[in-house]
Chain A
Amino acid sequence: MFHRFANPARFLRLAAAVQPWAAGATVVLLATGLVLGLVASPADYQQGETVRIMYVHVPSAWMAIFCYSALAGACAVALIWKHPLAGLAARATAPIGAAFTFLALVTGSLWGKPMWGTWWVWDARLTSVLVLFFLYLGYMALDNAFDDPGRGAKASSILALVGFVNVPIIKFSVDWWNTLHQPSSVVKMGGPAIHPSMLTPLLLMGLAFTTYYVWVLLIRIRREIIATKIRALQMRQAAGQGAAAPAAAPAPGEAR
């Protein structure tokens, strides 16, 4: 079951079938979520209209952690089973996750200025998410630091697994430390502490961000596969020319 999807050709067929659905779902969910969140949902009795930043901030923060978990999972699969597509998925996930983390940091900062009176506080949640951002950057830098792409993929996979220690720290930072950031109010014992009129757009936005991730991920993996093919063709062409040059006569096709 697992290795059935290791075949790039089969994956490309599957991706081509899934991609329009992911794109359509993203557009529909994002539109409904934004309308419900920005227009239809009530303003908070304490926070006023700024509460609407939450509909972007919370899903981005969810996705930041989700993408890192997906990245670490894909890296583990790539290292253990040498699954070629898992390596491509990990490499394709990293920039998306970094973008979500950046979005979460920026929107949180924009919300913090009117609410907390400051753009940034050095508390456990904010700091650990900033560390997550740097882990993404480190992963991408290490991935691209080698002349041999295979080496970079392996080295960065180990780094991604090491950096996974940060994920539980982010999750529980609001419970372990006494911080300014509020604790989780959606996933908690005794049900969510948010009124349905706000919870519905929030969950819709979360779903929209997830389908957006799937959409962009498929585009990026297809791009990686095509780039690998192009590289292989160029190498073959270069090898063909190199072999053909010293010899006097052979036709390009027979060079090897």
Chain B
Amino acid sequence: MSGFVLVIRRDLHLAFRQGFESLMVVAFFVIAVLLFPLGVGPEPNILARILPGVIWVAALLASMLSLERLFQTDYEDGSLELLALQPVALEVMVMAKVTAHWMTTGLPLIVAAPLLAVLMNMPADGLWALMAALVIGTPSLSLIGAIGAALILGSRRGGILLSLLVLPLYIPVLIFGASAVDAVLGGFSAKPQLLILSGLLVAALPLCPWAGAAALRQSME
């Protein structure tokens, strides 16, 4: 367990040292969402209608952009091999890296989302559904993305390849995350969607670190 905490602390330290770099993900998220009123037009009704999807798509892209560096820097400077040599299972290491990734990208997105929702005229009762969906859904994004981030290590054109690998797997989270908010705005309960999102998270929690660790092992052979 201590190895788990140590890896999280190390990754958080690194993120804070780099300072603004970890905030760039949030900046990307905010700018991407703010492009939509400019592109679609400022009618409040249309904005409120498309907002859940826009926020989720922007969150997906922001989470994916930061994934490329999840294992890449460790892979390049060799610390990944040192992590693999520790007496802690590699799966636990992957879980720790994913947790740190979520704390540096998922959490800031969740904090920034209500502000964007207000800017885009979202009715107040949709807000809690959006927050709940983001809280349950973004950890799944980090977990699924970790597999992709581990698979592309050492490849040519890693970043663009990562989007091709990870985005199709993100689609279920996007569908149920956005429809949870839509359901509440349409006067229904968001409970089924939130339960499915929780189910996705519960399935991803053990399986993704396992697959990610397998991918890391083959990258270090």
Please indicate whether A and B come from the same complex rather than being unrelated chains.
Answer: yes
How many Å lie between the Cα of A102 and that of B161 in the bound state? Answer: 21
How many Å lie between the Cα of A137 and that of B165 in the bound state? Answer: 9
How many Å lie between the Cα of A135 and that of B148 in the bound state? Answer: 12
Question: What is the chain A residue whose CB lies nearest that of B148?
Answer: A159
**Which B residues are in CB contact (< 8 Å) with A239?**
none
Question: What is the chain A residue whose CB lies nearest that of B168?
Answer: A134
- Let me know if A73 is at the binding interface, CB within 8 A: no
Contacting A at CB under 8 A, from B139-160, are 147, 151-152, 154-158
**Which B residues are in CB contact (< 8 Å) with A113?**
none
How many Å lie between the Cα of A167 and that of B146 in the bound state? Answer: 21
How extensive is the interface on chain B, given as a class? Answer: 20 to 34
Per-residue 0/1 for A112-138: is the Cβ within 8 Å of any B Cβ (1 yes, 0 no)? 000000000000000100010011011
**Which A residues are in CB contact (< 8 Å) with B164?**
134, 137-138, 141
How many Å lie between the Cα of A161 and that of B147 in the bound state? Answer: 11
Number of A-B residue pairs having CB atoms within 8 Å of each other in the complex: 60
Question: What is the chain A residue whose CB lies nearest that of B207?
Answer: A162
Q: Check if A145 sits within 8 Å of B218, measured CB to CB.
A: no
How many Å lie between the Cα of A195 and that of B214 in the bound state? Answer: 49
Q: With A145-B155, A155-B219 as known contacts, state yes or no: A161 contacts B211, CB within 8 Å.
A: yes
**Which A residues are in CB contact (< 8 Å) with B161?**
141-142, 145
Q: Check if B154 sits within 8 Å of A158, measured CB to CB.
A: no
How many Å lie between the Cα of A134 and that of B154 in the bound state? Answer: 22
Query: Which candidate, A84-92, A146-154, A198-206, is the interface stretch facing chain B?
Result: A146-154
Could you say which of B147, B155, B161, B165 has the most chain A C-beta atoms within 10 Å of its C-beta?
Answer: B165
Q: With A155-B215, A158-B215, A162-B211 as known contacts, state yes or no: A146 contacts B154, CB within 8 Å.
A: yes
Q: Check if A142 sits within 8 Å of B169, measured CB to CB.
A: no
**Which B residues are in CB contact (< 8 Å) with A166?**
168
- Let me know if A163 is at the binding interface, CB within 8 A: yes
- Let me know if B46 is at the binding interface, CB within 8 A: no
How many Å lie between the Cα of A246 and that of B26 in the bound state? Answer: 57
How distant is A103 from chain B, measured CB to nearest CB, in Å?
Answer: 19
Question: What is the chain B residue whose CB lies nearest that of A127?
Answer: B171
How distant is A123 from chain B, measured CB to nearest CB, in Å?
Answer: 11
Question: What is the chain A residue whose CB lies nearest that of B211?
Answer: A162
Question: What is the chain B residue whose CB lies nearest that of A156?
Answer: B151
Q: Check if B155 sits within 8 Å of A158, measured CB to CB.
A: no
Per-residue 0/1 for B210-221: is the Cβ within 8 Å of any A Cβ (1 yes, 0 no)? 010011001101
**Which B residues are in CB contact (< 8 Å) with A131?**
168, 171
Per-residue 0/1 for B84-115: is the Cβ within 8 Å of any A Cβ (1 yes, 0 no)? 00000000000000000000000000000000
How many Å lie between the Cα of A156 and that of B157 in the bound state? Answer: 15
Q: Check if A155 sits within 8 Å of B155, measured CB to CB.
A: yes
B151 touches which of A127, A134, A135, A158 (Cβ 8 Å): A158
**Which B residues are in CB contact (< 8 Å) with A163?**
168-169
**Which B residues are in CB contact (< 8 Å) with A152?**
155
**Which B residues are in CB contact (< 8 Å) with A142?**
151-152, 155, 161, 165
How many Å lie between the Cα of A194 and that of B142 in the bound state? Answer: 46
Contacting A at CB under 8 A, from B183-219, are 211, 214-215, 218-219
How distant is B84 from chain A, measured CB to nearest CB, in Å?
Answer: 16
Q: Check if A146 sits within 8 Å of B151, measured CB to CB.
A: no
With contacts A158-B147, A159-B165 known, what are 6 further pairs, Cβ within 8 A?
A: A135-B168, A141-B164, A141-B165, A155-B218, A158-B211, A161-B211
**Sample of 18 A–B contacts (CB below 8 Å):** A131-B171, A134-B164, A134-B167, A141-B164, A141-B165, A142-B151, A142-B155, A142-B165, A145-B152, A145-B157, A145-B158, A151-B154, A151-B218, A158-B215, A158-B218, A159-B147, A163-B168, A166-B168
